[in-house]
Amino acid sequence: MPHSPVLIIGAGPAGLTAAYELTKLGLQSVVLEADGQVGGLARTVNYRGYRFDIGGHRFFSKVPLINELWHEILGEDFLVRPRLSRIHYGGHFFAYPLKALNALAGLGPVEAFLVGLSYTKARLLPGKEETNFEQWVSNRFGDRLYRIFFKTYTEKVWGIPCAEISADWAVQRIKNLSLSEALRSAVFGAQRAKYGRVITTLIDAFHYPRYGPGMMWERCEELLVGRGSVTLPGVRIDRIRHRQGRVEVISGRTTAGERVEYDGEHFISTMPLQDLMHTFDPPPPAAVIQAADRLRYRDYLTVVLVVKRATVFPDNWIYIHSPEVKMGRIQNYKNWSPDMVPDPSRTSLGLEYFLWDKDEEWTWPQQRLIEMGIQECTRLGLIEPGEVEDGTVVRMQKAYPVYDQDYHHSVATVRHYLESLANFQTIGRNGLHRYNNQDHSMLTGVYAARNLVGERYDVWSVNTEPEYQEEGRVAEEKAGGRLVPVQLPVMASKQPRASDEIIAAAFAKLDPVAFGVAVGVVSGIGLFLMTAVLLLKGGREIGPNLALLRYYVPGFEVTWSGAIIGLVEVGVGGFTLGSLGAWLRNWGLAAYVTLVQRRAEARARRDLLDKV
């Protein structure tokens, strides 16, 4: 029976990073991969020289350690690429990140007016609960903007109503993005918005391997071989034997059907938790297996089209919010890297469909899926049917762990059981049932590796803490050229004081930029519409009362040119007054909150002295 100090199940970003970090710590490992190719969801598929991702993989991280690892592994083949992405909705393309004039032109003045009203209402009268995605987003963007730019696409991705999706999904994926931050990025640039903070959702450039993300992990595999660690593809683990709180042997079958077993001292798994719980021998308690079976996963299918055109559209990818097509997103691999296509006169497009493996489309033959993709691209006006000369289909099961309303409890039950196994860790997206980006998955691999040499990291804490999410802080510092942990408690869950939470809820701030824009849009377009109604109505003397505004709005008259002047001037004035009013309100509340806190602290000190 082959023996290794460390056995790792899964050769995706998390598993290979764990193996790579172990070599730096002086430990060798064996990585067992069920597929015939490394990279997991971050692999690159090669079809007749056309390379494509399983979804687009931007290489951008606020974690310095991960950025260093990427450059260390790939070197000069790690390219800097410009980002361009748009939203397709209602027959229009909307720039993403938001550009105000583009959005106004696409939505039209009436819809923009209604969006402004909806946003103002949400900020002044937010919903009290934020337990699901719909409530969370509507409170920050307004119900109308939520329905236009969030609802349809999100429900395409997850296949369930937004009201059934946990608010955790919004907190983790949208994080600190707000309407005001999007507006700031449109004015000041996407790299730095408020206080110089980088907003992941809005970055306008990213790194990308020359031949796709799989190149990173194929290179990593090569480096591991040179350091004495090996990756064995085509080995699907189906049994994990354990005794007295320790895993002893894992076994499975090769693609040829041969039974293989491996024993080791430490074990790391990236398997989906649902599958993992059914491999243990002896099995976990029934309640644990039931909890694992309640976890859900969204499956993913890509239809790749090779188009006889050098340029189809300039974007890296487009979000398809339009409900009339099943497609959720479309990738233009050539715009990720020119080397992704073998012929510069051709373009390869990846049409992404988010499905359950029980959906009928999942079992459709390849040609039928290709025909559907051609029809939908034609319907969106992107290509002509005769331009497609080739195509293929790639399926990926359990691509996205679902954040439904019950996943918390199920994961907690499974985690409690796993923590009873002293020499077994789970990492990565599916190993933690968390929709991690690639960098977060890699970070869990690094922490798992370091835990084997006596350090103590909680891999479950990665990408869950407000400190980590919003500021990108990692409990590490430079020491002797390597990143080492500073203090474990920093990585522990940091909960705000209950009093702080109450104060934050009771005295929520109005964002001056967003509130100013809302007031400006509503005021300017409101005046324009009132003037337009009077002009269309006509009469001997048009709008004598409204015309009195010329004393306050220079240049305004009840004419079409005056309406435009009024729209601009009142819009600017509304923005100024709205933002100033919000700032003064926030300042006043902040002063009041400070006074209340100081009084409470003084009272607490008196109470403490009384007890002494």
In tens, the pLDDT along 115-136 reads: 888 888 888 888 888 889 899 8
Of the two residues 544 and 131, the one the predictor is more confident about is 131
DSSP string, 113-172: HHHHHHHHHHHHS--S---BHHHHHHHHH-HHHHIIIIIHHHHHHHSS-GGGBBHHHHHH
Residue 444 covered by a domain? yes
Q: Would residue 364 count as lying in a domain?
A: no
Nearest to 273 by CA among 405, 154, 170, 402: 402
The answer to whether residue 337 sits within a structural domain is: no
For residues 61 and 44, state if they share a domain: yes
Q: List all residues 6 or more positions away from 78 whose beta carbon is below 8 Å from its beta carbon.
A: 59, 70, 71, 207, 208, 209, 210
Both 193 and 230 in a single domain? no
**133 in the same domain as 195:** yes
Distance CA 209, CA 211 (A): 6
Backbone angles phi and psi of 221, in degrees to 5? -60, -40
Structure-token pair, residue 535? 């002009």
Q: What is the pLDDT of residues 258-306, one digit of tens each?
A: 999 999 999 999 999 999 999 999 999 999 999 999 999 999 999 999 9
**Same domain for 214 and 182:** no
Tell me: do 53 and 181 sit in the same domain.
no
Residue 73 in any domain: the answer is yes
Q: Is the peptide bond before 284 cis (omega within 30 degrees of 0)?
A: no
Are 34 and 52 found together in one domain?
yes
Mean pLDDT (the chain) is: 84
- Residues 527, 456 within the same domain: no
Q: 270: domain CATH number?
A: 3.50.50.60
- In the chain, how many domains are there? 3
222 lies in a domain?
Answer: yes
The single-letter DSSP state of residue 95 is E
> What is the rounded average pLDDT of the residues 412-441?
95
Whether residue 277 is found in the same domain as residue 252: yes
- Confidence at residue 98, expressed as pLDDT on a 0 to 100 scale: 60
Could you tell me if 351 and 302 are in contact, meaning their C-beta atoms sit under 8 angstroms apart? yes
Last residue of a domain, one of 152, 169, 203: 203
| Cα separations in angstroms, 325 against 355, 376, 384 | 14, 6, 16
Asked if the model's pLDDT at residue 588 lies above 50, the reply is yes
**Rounded CA separation 145/153 (Å):** 13
Residue entry with tokens 């015309």: 547
- 388-400: average pLDDT: 95
User: Would you say residue 543 lies in a domain?
Assistant: yes
- Asked if the bond preceding 489 is cis, omega within 30° of 0, the reply is no
Q: What is the pLDDT of residue 5?
A: 94
Which residue did the predictor score with more confidence, 410 or 596? 410
Domain C-terminal end among 491, 514, 544: 491
Sheet strands (E) in 234-310: 235-243, 246-254, 259-269, 280-281, 297-307
Q: What is the mean pLDDT of residues 325-338?
A: 96
Q: State which of 463, 491, 519 marks the end of a domain.
A: 491
Do residues 479 and 555 share a domain? Answer: no
- With respect to residue 354, please indicate whether it lies within any of the assigned structural domains: no
Ranges 173-182, 477-486, 501-510: which has the least confidence: 477-486
Q: Are residues 466 and 514 in the same domain?
A: no
Query: Which residue range is the domain that position 37 belongs to?
Result: 3-80+208-294+404-491
Structure tokens at 450: 């370091």
Q: Render pLDDT for 72-108 as a digit per residue (tens, 0 to 9).
A: 999 999 999 999 999 998 888 888 766 666 776 788 8
Q: Is the dihedral of CA 43, 45, 50, 52 positive or negative?
A: negative
Beta pairing class for 259-269 and 424-426:
parallel
Strand partners, 323: none
Q: pLDDT value at position 28?
A: 95
Q: Which of 115, 152, 123, 151 is nearest to 139 (CA)?
A: 123
Query: What pLDDT does residue 497 have?
Result: 42
Do 417 and 553 fall within a single domain?
no
Asked if residue 180 and residue 119 are part of one domain, the reply reads yes
Is 286 domain-assigned?
A: yes
